Every structure is written in structure tokens, then in C-alpha cells.
Amino acid sequence: MTMPLMRPKRKNPVLRTRQMNLPPWARGRVALGITAAAAEGRFELQVCDECGTVQYPPREACHKCLSAALRWREQSGEGNLLGTTTLHHSNDMYFRERLPWRLGLVHLDAGPTLMVHMHGEVGDAPTRVRVGARLDRAGQAVLIGFPNEGSAHMADDKMLREMTSDPKFRKVLVTDGKTEVGQSIVRALVKAGADIVWVGHAEPWKKTGGLEDITALPQVTLVPLDLTNGRSVTELAGEIGGKVDIVINNAEVHRTFGIGARRGTDVAKAEMDINYFGLLRLAQEFGPALKGRSADGETGATAWVNLLSVYALSNFPPHGTFSASKAAAHSLAQCLRAEMRPAGIRVVNVFPGPIDDEWNQHVPPPKLLSATLANAIVKALRDGVEDVYPGDVAQEWLERWRDNPKVLERELAAGG
């Protein structure tokens, strides 16, 4: 049984800041299929279309019939643990700092035999285990053996916490606390055990409902933050940038209509100023601070979350300029992910479907509740994934987009 995690001691400010050592990250192009699935929380292996043999390690041709028709398919991960070993020495710098490290050999019910990292609650062989794929600090997929039935504190396992961004005992910045979505995110973080939640609010003279309720929570501190104002972002980064472990950028401007239904560019500029340039300002100021603290162990910076939209995948004409701003933010977030990865900071992009708010009131259901979106964000941090598509609409759009983006474009243009 995993012991409950105790509140870690904060880093001694007198000590030098350690540099991040990443686990071995080199992968061939074929092996990146496991990483692509793990980024969305799935464990996939190659399956031969000709003979049905499940393949591991990833390869170009089936090891049984030599067919090149290999497809990635999701696996249950159920199997038998054949044996375990514990490393007490390693020549790799990453593992040398984290020894001892337990490994196991698992024979999957699907056929292959895998070498995996072992969760602390898995007993000695022989026993049943479940293999899952997670992203490590280098952003690459690794395989972990989990117990079939874990305890309530499974997420506190030291090895698993190293590969995820669980908010428990961490300090989080939520960039906009005035919206219902922002307030739901704050409540979900507090429930998840966050130590401190800084909540940004622009235009303090403008009173909004719900802000006083979350301010009453002992973990919450309001901070002035206007993403349209570079000076505001710089000043806040100078004040708390060296303390933040997780940044959640949920600030957005959402307006309806496309190109011909509204004259001028004022609305589109307002959307871009927050949805794209706001993210850019935030990344320029808080990004270096997070990267500088990524090696502070249990108290280190760990993640960055961007609230995007499933409209970023393919433009939704009734919300055309908003879709364009989110597509621009998506591209920028991919750049941010590439720049943060060498420091071991995970960038999580969230692509919700229509949220049940004033700007989607004419969109037919199903629509996503703010609390459901907030819980999906916390779950993504706990599971260590990179891309999240909460809600039925987002899942359907994603499936249609992967099947044929051009067909989806035509369907959306026709109102479907």
C-alpha cells in the first residue's frame, strides 16, 4: 500500500538551483506511435492486419508473417508479472538521482513480453498486473506495471508522481477567476489538494458573481493579471514566477459570427489579443521561471495548461474568428511545448467542445459543464497526458477530424 504523501519541504533558497536531467529520450519514428497514444492517455501496440499478431517492440514489419500492414490498436494491458528486479546502480544521470528503481518483466495476455517500470503497490511475482503507458519528464512514452486493484493513495507513489503533474501540494496560477470555468477550475484544484492557488483577475472594478466565494477559500489568493497588458504580466511574474509550479491559462475572449456577419476587425483583434497574444505574453514571462525550477524535486515546477477549443482543429463558421484565434493559440502552444520539454515541463492542451455559457447559448446540446471541464483538467494533470478532448462533442469532432479533415470541413460549412 502506498503511504499518503506528506507535504514536501520547500527548497532552501540559499542552495543553488539544480539543472534538469531528463530520462533517455531517443526514439525511432515507429516507436513514437506509443508516445502519441500515451499523450492522450491510451496504451497502444501494433497489431498485424494480416495475421493479428500483437507486436512489441515497435517495428516496420510483422515478426511473424513479415507483413508491413501494422496498425496501432489500444490494449487492455492485462498480463502476468514474471519477475522483478531493483536497480541500485545506473550510469544514466537521471536514474542515478532516483535510485533505487524497480523494474519488472510482464507477459501480456495479448502475447508480447515487456520490460516495465513497477508501481510500488505491485507485489512479487507471480501476480496479475495491468500495464499502462505514461509520458516521462522527457515527453516520451514509458510502460508502467500497475496493480489490478490499487489503494486510495496510488497517485502518491514516488515513481508515478515523477511522471505526472498531480496538483496535490503544488502551487498553481489560474489566469482568469472571473468566469464560471475559472472558478470551477479553482474549486477542483483546491479539492485535489493544491497548496496555493493564485487567481488572476483583470478590471477589478468590474464585479462578477462567484469571485467572492472562491476568494473565501483559504488556499486562494487573488492577484491582478491582465493578459492584454504586458506590464501587468511582467509584474506578476516578478512577484510569484519563482514560486509557481503549474500555470493554467484559461483566459479567453469568445465572440460569435464569422467574417461577413460583422464589419471591421475590432472583435477579431480582441480575441487574438487574449487568446493568442495573451498566451505569448504569459509564456515569455512565466516560461523561463518554470524552466528554471523544473529540477527542484517534489517542489519543482511541473506543468503548463492551455484552455483551447476543439474549434482549433477545424474552423466552425458560426464562431469563425474565435476558431481562428484558437487555431493560432494551438500552433503557439506546440512551440511552447517544444521549448519547455528540455526542462521537463509538460504542456497540456485542452480542447473542449462547446461549453454551457452565454456564447454557446444557440449551440444545441450536448454542451460541457464548467465543473466537468475543470475535473478533466485535474485528471489530465494527475494522469500526465498532453492532449485532452473533454465532452461528447469534442470526442466526436476528434474522430471525424482524424478520419478525414476535408470531409469535416465540408460538414461544418453545411452546418453539420
Least confident of 12-21, 69-78, 184-193, 385-394: 12-21
Q: How far apart are CA 128 and CA 149, in angstroms?
A: 10
Task: Summarize pLDDT for 193-238 with one digit per residue, the tens.
Answer: 999 999 999 877 666 777 888 999 999 999 999 999 999 999 999 9
Across residues 140-165, what is the average pLDDT? Answer: 89
Across residues 172-199, what is the average pLDDT? Answer: 96
Give the range with max mean pLDDT: 3-7, 256-260, 290-294, 392-396.
392-396
* Greater pLDDT, 309 or 415: 309
- The CA-based dihedral angle spanning residues 58, 63, 65, 67, taken in that order and rounded to the nearest 10 degrees: 30
pLDDT at 3: 66
Partnered with residue 223 across adjacent β-strands are: 200
Across residues 71-80, what is the average pLDDT? Answer: 97
Is residue 1 predicted with pLDDT exceeding 70?
Answer: no
Burial of 8 (0-12, 13-18, 19+ CB in 10 A): middle
* Greater pLDDT, 108 or 3: 108
pLDDT at 149: 86
Is residue 132 classed as helix, strand or coil in its secondary structure? Answer: strand
Is residue 358 predicted with pLDDT exceeding 90?
Answer: no
Is residue 416 predicted with pLDDT exceeding 90?
Answer: no
Are 141 and 34 contacting, i.e. CB atoms less than 8 angstroms apart? yes
Give CATH 3.40.50.720 domain extents, the chain: 171-413
pLDDT at 7: 73
pLDDT at 25: 82
pLDDT at 14: 66
The CATH classification of domain 171-413, taken from the options 3.20.20.10, 3.40.50.1100, 3.40.50.720, 3.30.43.10:
3.40.50.720
Residue 288 amino acid letter:
P
Across residues 388-404, what is the average pLDDT? Answer: 95
pLDDT at 133: 96
DSSP state letters, 199-251: EEES-TTS--TTHHHHHTSTTEEEEE--TT-HHHHHHHHHHHTTT-SEEEE--
Q: How far apart are CA 263 and CA 225, in angstroms?
A: 30
Tell me the percentage of the chain whose pLDDT exceeds 70: 96
Q: How far apart are CA 404 and CA 400, in angstroms?
A: 6
Across residues 260-283, what is the average pLDDT? Answer: 94
Across residues 324-331, what is the average pLDDT? Answer: 98
CA dist 243 → 55, 195, 217, 299, 386 (Å): 44, 11, 20, 9, 23
Mean pLDDT of the chain: 92
